[in-house]
Structure 1
């Protein structure tokens, strides 16, 4: 409650006392700015409390639909990410993530040294999608779980609502976004706030782009980051560069909060998204770790939440050019909070090659050691004095695929610890692949015997067209459209991405001259189910009949 107005003599006394305090301050210049409470925006860049520039490199994880998959955060970290965007629900469209659950998500992010971007998904497509809620409603949810977030400003960014307008009445985005930001600030949120674009996140009408400056100015803390989702609208490098470049020129912070390698509304240029983000020093968060459905299963980065089953999209995002493994830098808060760890792991053992075929090989090596623990290994191809990332793993082996026949490769390994320190390089191993080409003693018959929504059953017949028996074999092929073997009889199957390898069972290992053996399997599939077009038996290509 405000006190009553003091008497005139009292006012004079207070005035004299204030002058005595303030005059020395005026003589010294303006007071120093108060220390930031966590992440902050300065000059168009996202900074940590320490003043370190932070560039997000990570993925989205659908926690609200898969609450039992919280271990995915450790798997995402192990692939090299520094950030995870976590899907939550206000309870309006899906099961509400309560305060205890939000607190646990934050704790797991911190345990795995990840920055947590938390978003409410119930706003998706408001105005067009049935059941979608307003940004104001999303702000109410954040206020209801505020106790789980207070004090976490160094680790958590609050993404008010996912794709908060569809393609109907999206012009209201500007006013609604300003109001939601101010609602959170009034409630005491000191966090960096992230806001998604309208038009299902893709801003094709440029509502966010053209009004971002006024939205940023409406935040009393000047601590708002903008998020664009890049799918079919962003199918050329020119569009991607122009959109992101305008924010950089205007010194307004922007991240690519979602994107994929393909989509039902068009084919985004993921290579240009990654390259442009790297060139401009902007963050990106790919969609999504696993669990997609409804025809967009191809956006899964791993199959069935298994970190050892990277899809082609997962391989591209984590291990490709400008990808997460090559560009992510862990948040400085995780080094400074526990004493900075600057000691790298020891070098891993020189890798040994095995199971070498015309297109693949397996590397194994002795583990490195580190006082705080080794978190992963990077396998690199050595080309003279330069290196090319090949794959990243948490174990001491790696399956290499996509190699060319009759070609020599040189590989080496680095170890990484939780602070981001990298070991000296291991010794190098030279791998020479087997010759390719067709043979006269192998033919494959492939057919789908049954099919249902999301899955199918198939049969593969391996025919020996030669004049001598085949004693022991490994059959390899590549699925053309994200199919994945779930069960197989007649052999033992392993799958990495789209590449399948089957080793014969004891009762199918011998294929007599002019004889054959049959394999049966079940598999998952997407909307289409095209057949493989090439098979290799013991490293040599077979004819396909």
Structure 2
């Protein structure tokens, strides 16, 4: 399956603030894949300090995005932290909490990474070894209504040795810029069999001008639905979120014309259709 990152353009953009408050501690989780590349981003926030004598655990912002491990290896590295849970999301700031890792030499820091298109991006490092903190995630690109970020945690001990990844949690960040509806029609048809599916999506341009550089974005309702490969588009899936973009030969849809794209996939018992499908980040009218 050909994978690409989300990032599409849009026409007119209306400035309308939107807040997202996912349920506390109820985010979907899955095990992260193998690391291929690590990329750093710069995020720096002053950490908060617990009230003296209370014994409370601090909830800091990240102390930086520099890896706290030295790349050393040891026979007994730290254990994996618990899969993080989402405490709250306000705009693009996500607060996570995880169960601590263990190590005979002591844990000195935790690093929060994002798995994005086969690349591991360091989003924050928490020192000292606290097990709850807030990080800033990027807003979606203009024309993309929301994006899902796959996050996991790695512990590092006093010798600079890092342990295995935790499980992953999905955090959904909504765009604070809303695209106006566009003139189009989307038809989603899927054939289902035991453990599999084959889906065709038809996109019709009902307007009077070309639909340029089209894109699709939707969310599978069932956790077991997965795209395995697709045709006539560049397909990508992160958690339940599925996106598609046109190829060089079909990026534009002329007025009155219909483009059909599709994919094959798997499911774990049910294969419901998405509740909403966005075209270029907007609803069809």
Normalised by the length of structure 2, the TM-score is 0.51
Match of residue 40 from structure 2: none
Q: Secondary structure at the match of 2:97?
A: helix
Q: Secondary structure at the match of 2:283?
A: strand
Match of residue 145 from structure 2: 359
- Pair 1:493 & 2:220 matched: no
Name the structure, 1 or 2, with higher relative contact order (CA <8 Å, separation 6+). 2
Q: Cα offset for 1:320?
A: 2.0
Q: Cα offset for 1:342?
A: 6.9
Q: 1:463 aligns with which of 193, 201, 204?
A: 204
Aligned 1:138-177 pairs, distance under 5 A: none
Q: Secondary structure at the match of 1:468?
A: coil
Does the CA-based 8 Å contact 1:319-1:392 persist in structure 2?
A: no
- Pair 1:327 & 2:106 matched: no
Match of residue 4 from structure 2: none
Does the CA-based 8 Å contact 2:77-2:103 persist in structure 1?
A: no
Match of residue 20 from structure 2: none
Unaligned runs of 5+ in 1: 1-58, 62-70, 76-107, 117-284, 286-316, 364-369, 378-390, 394-398, 408-432
- Pair 1:318 & 2:106 matched: no
- Pair 1:434 & 2:178 matched: yes
Query: What is the alpha-carbon distance in structure 2 between the residues aligned to residue 343 and residue 533 of structure 1?
Result: 37
Does the CA-based 8 Å contact 1:359-1:401 persist in structure 2?
A: no
Larger % of helix: which?
A: 1
Does the CA-based 8 Å contact 1:484-1:525 persist in structure 2?
A: yes
Query: What is the alpha-carbon distance in structure 2 between the residues aligned to residue 494 and residue 60 of structure 1?
Result: 17
Match of residue 264 from structure 2: 522
Match of residue 279 from structure 2: 537
Aligned 1:361-400 pairs, distance under 5 A: 361=147, 372=160
Unaligned runs of 5+ in 2: 1-28, 37-72, 89-94, 112-121, 126-135, 150-155
- Pair 1:452 & 2:193 matched: yes
Q: Cα offset for 1:490?
A: 1.1
Query: What is the alpha-carbon distance in structure 1 between the residues aligned to residue 80 and residue 264 of structure 2?
Result: 39
Q: 2:250 aligns with which of 508, 511, 516?
A: 508
Query: What is the alpha-carbon distance in structure 2 between the residues aligned to residue 522 and residue 471 of structure 1?
Result: 26
Match of residue 17 from structure 2: none
Query: What is the alpha-carbon distance in structure 2 between the residues aligned to residue 495 and residue 319 of structure 1?
Result: 21
Normalised by the length of structure 1, the TM-score is 0.28
Per-residue CA deviations over 1:106-134 (Å, capped at 9, x if unaligned) read xx996552179xxxxxxxxxxxxxxxxxx
Q: Cα offset for 1:356?
A: 3.6
Q: Cα offset for 1:376?
A: 10
Q: Cα offset for 1:355?
A: 2.6
In the superposition, relative to structure 1, how do residues 328 and 522 fare at CA in structure 2: closer, same or farther (>3 Å)?
Answer: same
Per-residue CA deviations over 1:308-357 (Å, capped at 9, x if unaligned) read xxxxxxxxx633239x951322225242xxxx747999978x97656343
Query: What is the alpha-carbon distance in structure 2 between the residues aligned to residue 346 and residue 506 of structure 1?
Result: 33
Q: Secondary structure at the match of 2:101?
A: coil
Aligned 1:125-136 pairs, distance under 5 A: none
Does the CA-based 8 Å contact 1:355-1:362 persist in structure 2?
A: no
Does the CA-based 8 Å contact 2:79-2:102 persist in structure 1?
A: yes
Q: Cα offset for 1:481?
A: 1.4
Does the CA-based 8 Å contact 1:490-1:507 persist in structure 2?
A: no
Q: 2:79 aligns with which of 111, 114, 117?
A: 114
Please identify the structure whose Cα radius of gyration is greater: 1
Q: Secondary structure at the match of 2:268?
A: coil
Does the CA-based 8 Å contact 1:319-1:326 persist in structure 2?
A: yes
Query: What is the alpha-carbon distance in structure 2 between the residues aligned to residue 539 and residue 460 of structure 1?
Result: 16
Query: What is the alpha-carbon distance in structure 1 between the residues aligned to residue 273 and residue 77 of structure 2?
Result: 40
Give the alignment's Cα RMSD to 1 decimal.
4.7
Aligned 1:200-219 pairs, distance under 5 A: none
Does the CA-based 8 Å contact 1:445-1:461 persist in structure 2?
A: yes
Match of residue 474 from structure 1: 215
Instruction: State how many pairs are aligned.
Output: 185
